[in-house]
Structure 1
Amino acid sequence: MGISTYSLVLFSFGVIPILELVIPPSASLNEPKSVKAYTIVLYAIVPLYFGLLIYFLIIIGQETNTLTLVGKITAMGMLHGIFGINMAHELGHRKSKLDQFLAQLLLWSSQYTHFFIEHNRGHHKRVATLEDPATARKDETIFNFWKRSVRDSFISAWKLENDAQIRENKAVFRWNNDMVKYMVYQTALIVVIWCTLGTITLLYYISAAFFGILLLESINYIEHYGLLRNKISESAYERVQDIHSWNSDHLLGRYLLFELTRHSHHHENSLKTYPELQSKEKSLQLPTGYPGMMLLSLIPPLFFKVMNKRLV
């Protein structure tokens, strides 16, 4: 298969960034006639994603061609990032128990279930502050951000869930602690893969999941890079405004990421579903789409040159 296994990566980080340089962004309003139809699309993707993950696990250990092997791992990593985590982000903000279950199931498949706690109860409360692991500081390279965000988000999720147990006067390490459950479930998945498919397949699975996690964290990096809210008291910040997120109205990136690029509106009302998100008039706009900015972030001096002059 060779080079064809890189099709998804090349399309997402080759074709789309080039097209978004020549196709003008569109701030057109989303006016969905039925959110339910868009939700059905998400539901349909879930079994497709898990089918592809199972297929990957079955065949990847038999691959002997290095070029094809790396291609398949990165392709699965793309699926982890776009569907396993990004789609989980969309579903995880909804009130439906089914949607929240599917969100956690998707994150479990990517070994990143703590994101469900940290993102909803941590990031949305602390965004654009130095207390938020997922807000990139000015002049912080994406490589340093990856390390800090992955580490501190995990620690934060434990603290948030432990504090919830303490407020209920209950023991911290108990089954009702979601972080305890998440760690058991994720470990169980690793053990099952190891026992049934072997060490090599497990290593390839972890590599793909790690690639997906880095994709998510790369999106986090550009979404709030260098943006900070003013502190109005010792323990409070100004409310989150449109100027505290970086947005992009470039169509292809919008569709690929389920309108995540209309990020200001998402932080204004996280219960809005992706087809309801709009381009906010005062929102900060990136010079190109999210995929192109993710590539640019891999060259820190150039990224800083482009972005630092745009900081308010």
Structure 2
Amino acid sequence: MQSVPNVTHPWRDRKRPLWLLALAVPTLPFQAGALVSVTGVGAFWWWGPFFAFVLVPLCDLVTGRDGEANPPEEVMAALEADRYYRWCTYLYLPLQYGALVWACGEWSAGHLSTADGLGLAVTTGVVAGVAINTAHELGHKREQSERRLSRLALAQSCYGHFYVEHNHGHHVRVATPEDPASSRLGEDYYRFLLRSVWGGLRSAWHLERRRLGRRKRPVLSAHNDVLTAWSLSAVLFAVLTLAFGPRVLPYLVLQAVLGFCLLEAVNYLEHYGLLRQRRPDGRYERVAPRHSWNSNNTVSNLLLFQLQRHSDHHANPLRRYQTLRHFDEAPQLPSGYASMILLALFPPLWRRVMDPRLTAHYGGDLSRANLHPRLRHRFTAPETADAAPAEPC
């Protein structure tokens, strides 16, 4: 029998045309309006949460895990340089702001009932929340233009300080008790939300004050990235209120709050209970795949620019989403982010699903986990529990 030659086919991104599906998210308010117009059913103003937390989990269930192999090293440079992938993120912003302006027009017109107006605000809040993820992708890049787009994407949710805290705070302190954006075993989402919002704000201000101090610049100045980010949101809300009237302001505030609450829900599940251990010198070990919960569901990955491949992002923060790799050794969530966010809203269900997984990850030794303070005495020796935290690496 004649032997068949072993032909190696070059790697290619089979999902390449599908990345444009991510642009379905910023058009959710338009989709809601179209569905209401066609059907006459006002409930479709709530299309955003239905899309995010019903349709996406169902699609994840049907399509399953992403079975495509990680891109090999020899294609990384070309894949990073392919500008098609950048435009998939760039285009989110005009659609995001087009939808926001259109929503303001609907709120100001006076034909929506209170329930319908709230539904449109919640749908717009889903756009704002996922826009923070788009800002996250853009904000890690070296190009100044992308960093500016990142800040613009954050203005809708009034969460511009995330740009400072995430890059210079969270990535340094991730999976440690000192990080406000790393949730702890035994900490429910609602307690975490308060701690992370307030802690992130304080941290961003401290980091920016320290940066400006090193450069001998005043804190209260145009050089302060936190102040300029908040100013951008204030200008945006002021312009929209002047253009459409004060009727839109409560809806703008509501969608902003929902947007950053959605972001914090993602923060909650990404590092739940995971802890970097101390080295002999007292500093924390380097970030590894075992310090982030991952999910490799196909549809969620497409819609979130592979945020769910979170371990590789922490190992390589500058790496673009199309080159992020899946690690089998990273702890795995049982489902995609959308399903897990819903689970996080019900703390008893969350703990029933996630605490056994965390326990298994640490081989039953929960003294190695990032514990809520009220649980530390159960699993940690007193001298360890009372030790002063060392500086994170």
- The normalised TM-score by structure 2 is 0.75
Aligned length: 311
1:232-286 CA-to-partner distances (Å, cap 9, x unmatched) read: 2676201001010000011111111110000001011011111111101311111
Deviation at 1:110, TM superposition (A): 1.9
Residue 79 (structure 1) aligned with residue 119 (structure 2): no
2:65, 2:298 within 8 Å by CA — same for their partners in 1?
A: yes
2:172 equivalent among 125, 135, 143: 125
What is the match of residue 229 of structure 1? Answer: 276
Tell which has more relative contact order, 1 or 2 (C-alpha 8 A, sep 6+): 1
Q: Which moved more, 1:154-163 or 1:21-30?
A: 21-30
1:5, 1:71 within 8 Å by CA — same for their partners in 2?
A: yes
**Matched residue SS, 2:116:** helix
Deviation at 1:63, TM superposition (A): 4.1
Residue 48 (structure 1) aligned with residue 95 (structure 2): yes
Q: Which moved more, 1:171-180 or 1:118-127?
A: 171-180
Deviation at 1:28, TM superposition (A): 2.1
Deviation at 1:3, TM superposition (A): 1.7
Partners of 2:241 and 2:99 lie apart in 1 by 18
**Matched residue SS, 2:318:** coil
Q: Which moved more, 1:247-256 or 1:182-191?
A: 182-191
1:16 equivalent among 51, 56, 61: 56
Partners of 2:94 and 2:242 lie apart in 1 by 24
2:159, 2:230 within 8 Å by CA — same for their partners in 1?
A: no
What is the match of residue 335 of structure 2? Answer: 288
Amino acid in the other structure paired with 2:57: P
Partners of 1:22 and 1:58 lie apart in 2 by 37
Amino acid in the other structure paired with 1:79: V
Pick closer, same or farther for the CA change 1:59–1:224 going to 2, 3 Å. Answer: same
Amino acid in the other structure paired with 1:248: S
Partners of 2:146 and 2:83 lie apart in 1 by 12
Q: Which moved more, 1:97-106 or 1:6-15?
A: 6-15
1:27, 1:279 within 8 Å by CA — same for their partners in 2?
A: no
2:106, 2:112 within 8 Å by CA — same for their partners in 1?
A: no
What is the match of residue 262 of structure 2? Answer: 215
Residue 28 (structure 1) aligned with residue 76 (structure 2): no
What is the match of residue 273 of structure 1? Answer: 320
1:63, 1:69 within 8 Å by CA — same for their partners in 2?
A: no
Deviation at 1:30, TM superposition (A): 4.7
Deviation at 1:202, TM superposition (A): 1.0
Residue 57 (structure 1) aligned with residue 97 (structure 2): no
Deviation at 1:22, TM superposition (A): 4.7
Amino acid in the other structure paired with 1:7: W
Any gaps of 5 or more consecutive residues in structure 1? none
Larger Rg: 2
Partners of 2:90 and 2:62 lie apart in 1 by 33
Amino acid in the other structure paired with 1:270: P
Pick closer, same or farther for the CA change 1:233–1:151 going to 2, 3 Å. Answer: farther
Amino acid in the other structure paired with 1:308: D
Partners of 2:44 and 2:238 lie apart in 1 by 31
What is the match of residue 116 of structure 1? Answer: 163
Q: Which moved more, 1:46-55 or 1:186-195?
A: 186-195
Partners of 2:237 and 2:101 lie apart in 1 by 13
Residue 70 (structure 1) aligned with residue 84 (structure 2): no
Any gaps of 5 or more consecutive residues in structure 2? 1-35, 37-41, 363-393
**Matched residue SS, 1:271:** coil
Partners of 2:117 and 2:222 lie apart in 1 by 39
1:135, 1:221 within 8 Å by CA — same for their partners in 2?
A: yes
Amino acid in the other structure paired with 1:225: Y
Amino acid in the other structure paired with 1:6: W
2:244 equivalent among 162, 186, 197: 197
Partners of 1:89 and 1:130 lie apart in 2 by 22
Partners of 2:49 and 2:67 lie apart in 1 by 26
Residue 6 (structure 1) aligned with residue 46 (structure 2): yes
What is the match of residue 300 of structure 2? Answer: 253
1:188-216 CA-to-partner distances (Å, cap 9, x unmatched) read: 22333333333320110111111111111
Deviation at 1:16, TM superposition (A): 2.1
**Matched residue SS, 1:131:** coil
- The normalised TM-score by structure 1 is 0.94
